[in-house]
Structure 1
Amino acid sequence: MPEIIRTANERLRSRPWRGGFLTAFATINLCGTFLTPARASVGPALAVIEPLRSLAGAFGSQEMATLTLTLGLGCFAVLSTVALMRARRRNSLLESVSRDEAMALHSEIDRLKAMLMAEPQVLVAWAAAADAPDILGETSIVVPGGVPERVLAFGTWLEPAAAQQMEHAVERLRSEGHGFVMNLTTRIGRPIEAEGRAVGGSAILRLRDVSGFERDLIELAARHEKLSSDVATMRELLDSLPAPVWARDQHGQLVFVNEAYARAVEATDPTDAVSRSLELLDRNARAEVVRARAANETYAGRVPAIAAGERRIFDVVDAPAGKGSVGMALDRTEAEGMRGELARMVEAHRRVLDQLATGVAIFNVDRKLIFYNAAFRSLFELNAGFLDQNPTDSAVLDTLRANRKLPEQQNFREWKQQLYEAYRAVEPQEHMWHLPDNRTMRVVTTPNPEGGVTYLYDDVTEGLDMHRRYDALIKVQSETLDHLAEAVAVFGSDGRVRLHNPAFQRMWKLTPEALDQHPHVEAVTAWCQVQHDDNLIWRNLRGAVTAIDGREPLVARIERRDGMMIDVTTMPLPDGATLVTFQDVSDTVNVERALRERNEALVAADSIKIDFVHHVSYELRSPLTNIIGFAHILGDAAFGPLTEKQREYLGYITTSTNALLAIINNILDLATIDAGAMTLNLGEVDIRASMVAAAEGVQDRLVKSNITLDIRALPTIGSFTADERRLRQILFNLLSNAVGFSPEGETITFAAERRPDAVVFSVIDHGPGIPPEDKERVFKWFETDPRGSEHRGPGLGLSLVRSFVELHGGTVTIDSVLGQGTTVTCVFPVAQQAKQSAA
């Protein structure tokens, strides 16, 4: 059995169709599990073997099984030989048929190949599982030299963009099976049609040379594609424009509008605007456009129109195009507004420049004068008619030179050419002109961005003079400060010493080297604090120097440890600096202290004097009252008769005691007023009655001196609020003073008048008058009138008058002319209540 199987296997390797049966049979007999499939292959032989195998199985003997197997194999060999002979005949027949079919296929392939190669083309085929493609055809149509391997190197025979597009299409064809058709042009200008298809699991690329009519069609298609792309691009461009654009046919109907046009006519989109024939321009503007189109002319004009509900101004251009026309409307509303605003701004600038004190002359790129202001004409005294003719720069300079308004130059031509360098410069240049009329001009030449030059002329004569004066003033100021007795220091806005004089160094014992370093006020106060350690004063001084807001002057007094008294004063300066002065007032303070002590002593002495007078007057009044009382008793006849001599002496006693009592009463009244204890008994006082009562008190003196008293007061003068007793006392003292200084036979005028706000009493005498320097002295206590009089009193009358009048809130004035007389006027305010003295 092994040999049979081995032989079957060998035959199977050499002739598969012969050994297959033997191997199958041997296998079936060896493995009973395969009997069923073998039965179908062996056919009738199995019909003989099966009964034998059944019989062998029934007997169960080994020998019987062997015999049965041997007989089966013999039968199978015979039958197999017969089957193999039949199969060989059939195989020979099949080989003959296959050979004929192969020859027919080769003929068909050759015929198809000849048909494919009938036109110049290249075929590239990729098998489903192969990476290396098969390349057939005339490769020279795409690759110079016809090298097949370079067909797929698209970059060698196509432009970069086309090569990249081709590589992408081939990749999609091989990976996804997407076919494509493209028209390409090689680097040498040969048109190629590239077509890719998936056929039977393979990817086929065909590159075909096109020419003739087909080439024309391809070029026409390419042109059509390009034109379509251009049209699409133009449409996108026109839709992106902010200006309305339209196209019309030969009948004037809209055939195209862009998005801006649709927005302007408030349409939903351009198609809606075209379908409804919505017009942007009004009827008159459209009529103008139609007339220009009829004359085959381009219309261009500025017209108003309503766009998106607003009135706008458009620059409209409508030009013939083919059988129709195209148009565009540029919105110039803002440009018009800006043009008007620019015109107004230019005019405003001209007006402003015309008001400047700086002379301005503007020359254009042609060096012609296009603008000048009044200051320019005034500075050089030029004729307006000449300037209005737009003269050149050279003509203006020549005119100025002729009028001696330019600096004297040895080479005027060269100087002028140097000045003209401004027309080629990029930065402003400055010149100083010293004119023959002793003026100095600062001239600035500024190149204009659009070309030309602007000349600026400033008369700096006064400024230079002021600068010289300022320098001289600074020198004088420095010299003055250096020679001042006061210590002066100026601190800048940063708190550092900017200026100081030698007195400041000496007073605070500072070194020049330290101050020349411009130390801060903190350091300066620290150095000065050694001499005076009152930290509050130095802190306030630092605050006054370094403060930003509320810079108030500081006044303080410092008493140093060595006894020197210094007055410190700060003064804020306009530039943010602070002036600090230190003045040695030691002598002044000492004198002031001495004077104050003396004044206090005088005040104390005066107080003692008043107390003494008050006390003495009070002590004199009681015994004087007793004397007056006893004198009155002695004069009474009930107590016995008196001799003439006694009666005469008693009269002297009575007169003297009455005068002494009046003096004592006046002294007491003045002391009471001075002590602030005097009160007024206010009430309604009849003015004329008070005047008459006061006149009766001096009647005997008037008769004795043959003096006439003229009382002037209207019967209707009425009354006012006052203390009647004190008012009579005031008037009596005024009349007594006038009588005492009036010569015999004169007239005294005693007048009263009512004003809207006051009652005025005046007493006029014609005595010797009072010197101006003595007018205030007559109101002092115990000061007698310097005019002299035989009726001189103790000098209390006018003092008492002023005190009582001021107690009523009034005033007393004296008008006197030497040798002509004196007028004393007392004014009592009506509206103001008389003052009452209070403690």
Structure 2
Amino acid sequence: MILSQTALALIGLLLAAWTLAAAWAFLSARRRERRAEASQRLTRRLSRMIDEAPALPLLVRSDGRIEGPARLAAWLGLDAMPGYLSELDAGTKGLSEFQLGELTTAVRRTQKTAAPFKLVLTPRGSRRSLALRGHLADPQVSPGGAALVWVFDFSDSEAELRRLRDETSAAQSRFAALAGLIEAAPLPMWSRDPDGRLQLVNTAYVAAVGGASAESVVEAQTELVEPVDGLSAAQVAQQSREQNMPLERVVTATVSGPQGNERRSLRVTDLPIGSEGVAGYAVDIEELEEQTRAFRAFRDAQRDMLDILSAGIAQFDAAHRLVFANQPFLRQFAIPPTWLLDAPPFDRVFDKMRDNSRLPEVRDFPEWRRERQQWFHSGDTREEAWSLSDGTHLRVVAQPMPDGGLLLIFEDRTEQLQLSATRDTLLRTRTATFDNLFESLAVFAPDGRLALWNRRFAADWGLDDAFLDEHPKVEPLLARVASRLKRPAQVEALGQVIRAATLERIERSGRAALADGRFLEFAGVPLPDGNGLLTVLDITDSQKAQAALSERNAALVEADAVKTRFIANMAYEFRTPLTSIGGFAEMLEAGVAGELGPQAREYVAAILSSVHRLGEQIENVLDLAQSEAGTLPFQREPVELRSLIVDLLRQRRERVGQAGLTVDLRGTAATVPVEGDARRLSRAFAQLIDNAIAATPSGGRILVEVTRRPRGAARVVVSDNGPGMDPATLARALDGMRVAPDGKTVDRRQGLGLPLARQLVEGHGGKLELLSEPGQGTAAIVTLP
């Protein structure tokens, strides 16, 4: 009983221990189960995190086996993850041979050297971009030198990067283009920092300031524009930055150019560019300023020109205000110049014109004025005729201007209308004059049609009025005229004359004999208006007179031959006796017939003097007769005119002294050579000097002047202070001997000296003029070529 209780106690203890052990085992198992469940959850969570991670692991063992999630297979374009690295190239899927080679090489290098690597791969047939970052795997992950490769899908990032790269490239291209454009711009451009200092200039700026380079200009802070009103260019740029608005101004600056420094007008603009500073550019407006000045000068010149026109000009601007009116406009419409200072509108101008009674009388003036105001909107030129109450007729031209203005031209046509009326009267007068002329006239148009004729034309050619009223052309007209000619073929000459006057614009003439015995002379004259005038004159009587004149002309030719023979005979008959008388007288004077007494010697001297004088007169008569007959011979040789005059004066020194006269020789001291006959010229000037000596009373004065004219002609003046001649005597002085009115005797006018001198001078191509006034003396002026 005692054993049993002890056994039971032991069994109870054993059972208690077993229960405790079972309870401990249960609790331990429960704890391990919870730990395993936590590990599984962690594993699932980590697996899920890896599946959701932007990077997937790829474990490559040293034998080439690979481990990786299924998601990585999808990234590589494979249906499932292969077992080996070489199986990533699945032909049409996975990596290309080249890409797989790069990956294999990088993995082998990492497994051997533990050097990390980076690759970017794009699987076949996929736009996915994969970034691979490989390194040696931790031994706890995979012992034995495996390589762990992290694969990143940066397709979106790559697209974004590509887009950013494209935008960056485009921005760089645009910036390069903009920089190139600014650099190549022909106008100076620059940029300033927030402190107003130059930080960038283009080539045009460097050339304008005459700098060596942009860097030197920026370093020297060389400004293009000088300070204006105490403000420098940098200060004006600071004002633009402070006001945050562009500032524009026109200044004058010294700009370096191909021809040196020049003062040019520039439009300078400064514009703020945010926090970067202020940019600026300068536009050369010198040509624009010159054009503006030229336009103002042209406008002023145009208005000055309009002021001197006879037509009135009024110019309105686009606002319908009068901006200019010339002086004729003010005079035509009695408008004071001060009234235009306020630039009155169109309505007020017309009201003022109406108040001055310088507009036509109309029933509804406001409506009439509104109609004229529509001229501003008209697309073409309008023209009207105004008749004013005082009889003035105005031609009004309204010309719309491109700028919306209007130009009004008022031309006074009153005088033209009067001239038109006068012209109509003149035309009627011309028609009446034509019809009453003794000469027949006809006017032909350029097309050969008869335009105008008089009654004498129809009568001369025997044409009826009904035919002429049809204004026929030349051909049918000539056909009718031909039947009235003595020789019808002569009508062709008439047609040629008409065509020459109308088409060829030259003058021609001709004659025609009519069948009735009349003779007509016709001529064609081109008229300024393009027509041709045919004049026809009946020369029947003149033809008869011409025949008679021909007969008389033959008789005159025979008489001229007789006169020539008479002159030759007279020269012989006069000179032979005179020579004999002179010779005998000289023999008596020499004592051939014995010694003569004093009185006999005086008689012989008188005879010799008379013979000499008579010989000179005979020579004068013969020369004058031969000159008038045109048979006087001239020799052409160089003659020194001044020496010839001096010799003539020296020969007459005794005679001048006896007459108590004074001779004054003036003119150039140089020689005056001419071409001519020295003997004939000596005789001509001797006659002039002798006439001056004979016409000058004692104590008088004779002036002889020899000069050379600017064009090479020689000029000799022989003047005296004698009694002179009245106009009637002066007119007859050069006539000499003429046949008397009775036709039988000789009428001796003023002797043979002056006529002979005139003939001799004119025979040398010269000219003799006589100037004389009663009581003032006489002057003979000889001009020789």
Normalising by structure 2, what TM-score?
Answer: 0.52
Aligned residue among 189, 200, 205 for 2:127:
205
CA contact (8 A) 2:500 2:508 kept: no
Kept in 1: contact 2:188–2:203 (CA 8 A): yes
* Contact 2:270–2:279 (8 Å) recurs in 1: yes
Residue 454 of structure 1 deviates from its aligned partner by 1.2
Structure 2 distance, partners of 1:387, 1:463, is: 30
Aligned partner of 2:351: which letter? D
Q: 1:112 aligns with which of 56, 62, 72?
A: 72
> 2: CA distance between counterparts of 1:828 and 1:239?
92
- Alpha-carbon distance, 1:346 to partner: 1.1
Cα distance between partner residues in 2 of 1:413 and 1:507: 66
CA positional deviation for 1:415: 0.9
CA distance in 1, matches of 2:190, 2:299: 38
CA distance in structure 2 between the partners assigned to 1:780 and 1:523 by the alignment: 54
Give the 5 Å matches for 1:575-590: 575-590=529-544
- What is the aligned-residue identity percentage? 26
2:290 corresponds to 1:322:
no
Question: Could you say if the C-alpha distance between residues 325 and 599 of structure 1 is closer, same or farther in structure 2, counting changes exceeding 3 Å?
Answer: closer
Instruction: State the shift of 1:351 in Å.
Output: 0.7
1:434 equivalent in structure 2:
387
**Residues 592-638 of structure 1: per-residue CA shift (max 9 Å, x gap):** 545776898899999999x9xxxxxxxxxxxxxxxxxxxxxxxxxxx
Q: Which residue of 2 aligns with 1:303?
A: 251
AA aligned to 2:327 is A
Question: Letter of the aligned partner of 2:541 in structure 1?
Answer: D
Q: Which residue of 2 aligns with 1:445?
A: 398
* Residue of structure 2 in register with 1:256 after alignment: 200
Cα distance in 1, alignment partners of residues 720 and 218 from structure 2? 105
CA distance in 2, matches of 1:322, 1:531: 106
Distance 1:105 1:391, change over 3 A: same
Q: Aligned partners of 2:321, 2:630: CA distance in 1, in Å?
A: 96
Give 1:468 deviation, angstroms. Answer: 2.3
1:519 and 1:314 map into 2 onto residues whose CA distance is 73
CA RMSD of superposed structures (Å): 6.4
Q: Which residue of the other structure, out of 184, 208, 233, is the alignment partner of 1:289?
A: 233
- Displacement, 1:290? 2.6
Q: Distance in 1 between matches of 2:436 and 2:508?
A: 24
Whether contact under 8 Å (2:497, 2:523) holds in the other structure is no
Query: Is the counterpart of residue 489 in structure 1 residue 489 in structure 2?
Result: no
Query: 2:480, 2:306 → 1: CA distance?
Result: 56
Counterpart selection for 1:371 from 304, 308, 324: 324
Does structure 1 residue 423 correspond to structure 2 residue 376?
A: yes
Q: How does 1:241-252 map to 2 (within 5 A)?
A: 241-252=185-196
In structure 2, the residue matched to 1:569 is 523
| In 2: Cα distance, 1:829 partner to 1:275 partner | 93
Match of 2:490 among 533, 540, 545: 533
Q: What is the distance in 2 between the residues matched to 1:280 and 1:272?
A: 14
Map of 1:349 onto structure 2: 302
Q: Check 1:783–1:272 CA distance in 2 against 1; reply closer, same or farther (3 A cut).
A: closer
User: In structure 2, do the counterparts of structure 1 residues 581 and 277 end up closer, same or farther at CA, with 3 Å as the change threshold?
Assistant: same
Post-superposition CA distance 1:443-462 (Å, at most 9, x none): 11111211221111100011
Q: CA deviation at 1:320?
A: 3.1
Select the structure of larger CA radius of gyration: 1
Distance change (3 Å), C-alpha of 1:326 and 1:540: same
Q: What is the identity, as a one-letter code, of the residue corresponding to 2:248?
A: A
Other structure's SS at 1:205 match:
coil
Asked if 1:313 corresponds to 2:265, the answer is yes
Decide whether the 8 Å contact of 2:188 with 2:204 is kept in 1. Answer: yes
CA 565–197 in structure 1, closer or farther in 2 if over 3 Å, else same: farther
Instruction: Provide the rounded CA distance (Å) in 1 between the counterparts of 2:429 and 2:758.
Output: 55
SS at match of 1:563: coil
Give the secondary-structure state (helix, strand or coil) at the position aligned to 2:329.
helix
Is 1:547 matched up with 2:504?
Answer: yes
CA displacement 1:103-129 (0-9 Å, x = unmatched):
x98974625236779xxxxxxxx9998
SS in 2 for 1:339: helix
Deviation at 1:425, TM superposition (A): 0.9
Amino acid at match of 1:472: T
Q: Separation in 2 of the partners of 1:829 and 1:808? A: 17
Verify the 8 A CA contact 2:269 2:282 in the aligned structure 1. Answer: yes
AA partner of residue 376 (structure 2): Y
Deviations 1:702-746 (A, max 9, x none): xxxxxxxxxxxx965899xxxxxxxxxxxxxxxxxxxxxxxxxxx
Q: Which residue of 1 aligns with 2:179?
A: 235
Q: Could you tell me whether the CA contact under 8 Å between 1:567 and 1:583 is conserved in 2?
A: yes
Query: 1:127–1:203: 8 Å Cα contact kept in structure 2?
Result: no
**Is the contact between residue 444 and residue 450 of structure 2 (CA under 8 Å) also seen in structure 1?**
yes
**Which ranges of structure 2 fall in alignment gaps of 5 or more residues?**
1-60, 78-87, 101-118, 131-152, 566-620, 633-647, 653-657, 664-693, 704-717, 724-734, 760-776
Structure 1 stretch 288-297 or stretch 505-514: which is displaced more?
A: 505-514
Is contact 1:315–1:332 with CA below 8 Å preserved after alignment? Answer: yes
Check whether the contact 2:196–2:237 (CA below 8 A) recurs between aligned residues: no
Tell me whether 1:339 sits opposite 2:309 in the alignment: no
> Distance between the aligned counterparts of 1:464 and 1:540, measured in 2?
38
Counterpart amino acid of residue 375 in structure 2: A
Amino acid at match of 2:189: V
Partner of 1:533, secondary structure, is helix
- Residue 524 of structure 1 and its aligned partner are, at CA, apart by 5.4
| CA–CA distance in structure 2, aligned partners of residues 808 and 115 of structure 1 | 142
Return the alpha-carbon distance in structure 2 between the equivalents of residues 761 and 279 of structure 1: 92
- Aligned residues between the structures: 526
Shift of 1:801: 7.3
- Label 1:366 to 1:758 Cα distance change in 2 as closer, same or farther (>3 A): closer
2:360 aligned to 397, 401, 407, which one? Answer: 407
Alpha-carbon displacement from aligned partner over 1:659-680 (angstroms, at most 9, x marks no partner): xxxxxxxxxx99x98998999x
Alpha-carbon distance in 1 for matches of 2:422, 2:509? 33
Following the alignment from structure 2 to structure 1, what is the Cα–Cα distance between the partners of residues 196 and 375?
58
Deviations 1:59-108 (A, max 9, x none): xxxxxxxxxxxxxxxxxxxxxxxxxxxxxxxxxxxxxxxxxx9xx98974
User: After superposition, what is the alpha-carbon deviation per residue over 1:780-811, rounded to whole angstroms, capped at 9, x for unaligned?
Assistant: 66959xxxxxxxxxx95x64678978886699
TM-superposed deviation, 1:410:
0.9
**Alpha-carbon distance in structure 1 between the residues aligned to 2:155 and 2:170:** 20
Note closer, same or farther for the CA distance 1:758–1:301 as it changes in structure 2 (3 Å cut). closer
What does residue range 338-737 of structure 1 map to in structure 2 within 5 Å? Answer: 338-492=291-445, 497-505=450-458, 507-508=460-461, 519=473, 531=488, 533=490, 542-547=499-504, 551=506, 553-554=507-508, 556-560=510-514, 562-591=516-545, 593=547, 716=660
Q: Structure 1-normalised TM-score?
A: 0.49
Distance 1:111 1:807 in 2: 147
Which shifted more, 365-374 or 558-567?
558-567
Distance 1:602 1:263 in 2: 97
Tell me the CA shift for residue 463 of structure 1: 0.7
State the distance in 2 between where 1:527 and 1:127 align. Answer: 121
CA distance in 1 between partners of 2:741 and 2:325 (Å): 86
* Residue 801 to residue 371, structure 1, CA distance change in 2 (3 Å): closer
Give distance in 1, aligned partners of 2:503 and 2:66: 116
* 1: CA distance, partners of 2:539 / 2:122: 125
CA separation of 1:541 and 1:412: change in aligned 2, threshold 3 A: closer
- Distance of 2:295 and 2:778 partners within structure 1: 76
Query: Judging changes above 3 Å, is the alpha-carbon distance between structure 1 residues 831 and 361 closer, same or farther for their aligned structure 2 residues?
Result: closer
CA-CA distance at 1:521 after TM superposition: 8.8
Instruction: Tell me the SS of whatever aligns to 2:232.
Output: helix
- Kindly tell me: are residues 546 and 216 of structure 1, through their superposed partners in 2, closer, same or farther at Cα, counting changes over 3 Å? closer
Structure 1 residues 106 and 288: CA distance shift in structure 2, 3 A: closer
The residue type paired with residue 305 of structure 1 is A
